[in-house]
């Protein structure tokens, strides 16, 4: 129930793209990225911004004396640079910290739905930096249980006092109609005691896929719940041989590498401390393979982490925090066999078992774990291991499948 403060949103894009990026979605690989100008701007990650009116802070860093211009390119009905509603502001990079903090004012959200705004920040002689703000409605349903039938990727709801269910929406381009609509990015089941999610569920379709990645990686706290419950790994990864491993890969959301869809995959809530060798090796190979299983009927995916009792912990790169290490990772997928038989408005759960196929994967969070074919198992086996119910609308027989040939394994 917060507003999005995008961390190091230094997306170098042309002026025209700055105006259209909000209508697209996107992203790329998991660990790495960087480079660019010495001048940068970001929202202060220490600011907690609620759904009532308030003020966010833009922090500027760079070469003293460099002129800059900030401009609201969307969301001007609720975002401004002063209380009178100014939509632009100019200045120069100063020497004092006061001159490098720019307030951004926002109004209470009474719309009953989330809303988005974007600010284009331009240093003289450079391309615009686009910063995204997302404000959520207090009454917004973050786990759309009424959509389980139409969102087949959603696992069954499970009660738990430490569990937080969050759904992130984003602009999606319908390439056939050349129209943009608000679509789903992903839903997660986050555990406050693990500082991470048990699972992240999402669809994969060509409308989400492209190439490229934002630079540098825009790590940020998830704006939908307190940053106190999230691992503080924005400015450095986990200590030792552990990456900030994405559950939904940013490469699954790179139709526009600088779009909101991709940026949301860099929320800390989507990250876990994943063995670096696994993350950059065979797990990355599995992620790339899953993208190839995309079909016009849509591929549905659940990626998750699993903690045994009393897991080991790891700190961030500064030696701060004690974040539980997942013992295992899993992935579950389902789609139609032919990939092109669905019609608008039908439900995946209405299809006969012979028309659907599914597969699961289970692997230890360590190096030297073989490859995807060795990790393959049934979705039903994942349910028995985790206690979660995946793809609750599809026939039970489909979830017992273990055949790998049709998946190219």
The CATH number for 174's domain is: 3.40.570.10
Q: Is 258 within 8 Å of 11 (Cβ atoms)?
A: yes
Residue 9 lies in a domain: no
Q: Which segments within 111-265 are labelled E, that is strand? A: 115-123, 129-135, 163-174, 179-191, 196-204, 242-246
Could you tell me if 158 and 57 lie in one domain?
A: no
Terminal-residue alpha carbon distance, the chain = 42
Q: Which segments within 345-396 are labelled E, that is strand? A: 356-364, 376-377
* Domain region containing 56: 15-135
Could you tell me if 154 and 263 lie in one domain?
A: yes
Could you tell me if 119 and 185 lie in one domain?
A: no
Pairwise pLDDT comparison (214 vs 247), residue with the higher score: 247
Could you tell me if 130 and 157 lie in one domain?
A: no
Of 94, 109, 135, the residue that ends a domain is 135
Residue 156 lies in a domain: yes
Residue 5 lies in a domain: no
Distance separating alpha carbons of residues 41 and 311, to the nearest angstrom: 38
Whether 154 has a pLDDT exceeding 70, the answer reads: yes
Q: Is 375 within 8 Å of 369 (Cβ atoms)?
A: yes
| Cα dist from 402 to 81, 150, 365, 409, whole Å | 57, 25, 22, 11
Query: Is residue 255 classed as helix, strand or coil in its secondary structure?
Result: coil
Reported as a pLDDT band with limits 50, 70 and 90, residue 351 is: very high
Pairwise pLDDT comparison (25 vs 356), residue with the higher score: 356
Residue 8 lies in a domain: no
pLDDT tens by residue, 167-209: 998 888 887 778 888 889 999 999 999 999 999 999 999 999 9
Could you tell me if 283 and 395 lie in one domain?
A: yes
Quote the number of domains for the chain. 2
Could you tell me if 218 and 295 lie in one domain?
A: yes
CB-based contacts of 67, cutoff 8 Å, min separation 6: 90, 91, 92, 123, 124
Could you tell me if 113 and 181 lie in one domain?
A: no
Of 93, 108, 135, the residue that ends a domain is 135
pLDDT tens by residue, 267-278: 999 999 999 999
Query: Is residue 121 classed as helix, strand or coil in its secondary structure?
Result: strand
The structure tokens listed for 366 are 């360590």
Distance separating alpha carbons of residues 93 and 64, to the nearest angstrom: 5
Distance separating alpha carbons of residues 353 and 333, to the nearest angstrom: 15
Predicted local distance difference test score (pLDDT) of residue 14: 25
Could you tell me if 225 and 107 lie in one domain?
A: no
| Cα dist from 272 to 3, 142, 146, 199, 379, whole Å | 23, 21, 29, 11, 22
Look at 44-53, 230-239, 273-282 and tell me which has the smallest mean pLDDT. Answer: 44-53
Residue 336 lies in a domain: yes
Q: Helix, strand, coil proportions of the chain in percent (round to 5)? A: 20, 30, 50
Could you tell me if 127 and 156 lie in one domain?
A: no
Residue 6 lies in a domain: no
> Within 13 A of 326's CA, how many CA atoms are on the CB side?
33
Q: In CATH, what number is assigned to the domain containing residue 39?
A: 2.60.40.10
Could you tell me if 127 and 261 lie in one domain?
A: no
Predicted local distance difference test score (pLDDT) of residue 225: 81
According to DSSP, the β-strands at 67-74 and 88-92 are antiparallel
Could you tell me if 35 and 159 lie in one domain?
A: no
Residue 151 lies in a domain: yes
Distance separating alpha carbons of residues 27 and 255, to the nearest angstrom: 7
Closest by Cα among 116, 101, 113, 104 to 22? 116
Of 91, 108, 135, the residue that ends a domain is 135
Q: If you average pLDDT over every residue of the chain, what do you get?
A: 86
Could you tell me if 214 and 105 lie in one domain?
A: no
Q: What pTM value is reported for the model?
A: 0.76
Residue 37 lies in a domain: yes
Look at 12-16, 109-113, 198-202 and tell me which has the smallest mean pLDDT. Answer: 12-16
**Rounded to 10 degrees, what is the CA torsion of 282, 288, 289, 293?**
160
Closest by Cα among 116, 101, 125 to 46? 101
């Amino acid at each position: 129930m917060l507003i999005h403060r995008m961390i190091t949103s230094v997306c170098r894009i042309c002026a025209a793209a700055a105006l259209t990026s909000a209508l697209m979605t996107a992203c790329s690989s998991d660990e790495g990225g960087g480079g660019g100008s010495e001048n940068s701007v970001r929202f202060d990650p220490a600011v907690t911004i609620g759904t009532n009116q308030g003020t966010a802070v833009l922090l500027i860093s760079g070469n003293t004396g460099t002129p800059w211009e900030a401009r609201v390119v969307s969301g001007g009905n609720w975002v401004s640079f002063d209380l009178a509603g100014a939509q632009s502001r100019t200045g120069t990079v100063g020497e004092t910290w006061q001159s490098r903090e720019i307030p951004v004012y926002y109004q209470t959200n009474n719309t009953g739905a989330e809303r988005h705004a974007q600010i284009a920040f331009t240093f003289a002689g450079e391309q615009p930096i686009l910063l995204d703000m997302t404000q959520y409605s207090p009454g917004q349903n973050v786990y759309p249980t009424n959509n389980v039938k139409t969102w087949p990727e959603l696992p069954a709801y499970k009660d738990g006092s430490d569990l937080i269910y969050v759904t992130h929406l984003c602009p999606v381009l319908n390439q056939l109609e050349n129209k943009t609509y608000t679509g789903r990015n992903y839903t997660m089941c986050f555990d406050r005691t693990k500082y991470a999610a048990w699972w992240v569920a999402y669809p994969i379709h060509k409308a989400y896929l492209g190439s490229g990645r934002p630079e540098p990686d825009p790590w940020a706290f998830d704006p939908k719940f307190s940053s106190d419950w999230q691992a503080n790994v924005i400015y450095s990864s986990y200590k030792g041989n552990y990456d900030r491993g994405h559950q939904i890969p940013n490469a699954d959301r790179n139709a526009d590498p600088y779009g909101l869809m991709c940026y949301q995959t860099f929320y800390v809530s989507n990250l876990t401390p994943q063995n670096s060798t696994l993350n950059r090796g065979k797990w990355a190979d599995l992620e790339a393979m899953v993208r190839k299983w995309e079909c016009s009927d849509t591929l549905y995916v659940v990626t998750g982490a699993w903690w045994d009792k009393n897991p080991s912990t790891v700190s961030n790169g500064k030696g701060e925090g004690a974040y539980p290490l997942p013992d295992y990772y899993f992935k579950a997928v389902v789609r139609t066999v032919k990939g092109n038989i669905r019609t608008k408005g039908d439900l995946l759960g209405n299809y006969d078992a012979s028309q659907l196929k599914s597969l699961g994967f289970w692997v230890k969070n360590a190096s030297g774990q073989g490859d995807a074919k060795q990790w393959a198992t049934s979705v039903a086996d994942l349910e028995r291991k985790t206690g979660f119910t995946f793809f609750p609308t599809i026939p039970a027989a489909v979830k017992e499948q273990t055949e790998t040939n049709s998946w190219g394994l």
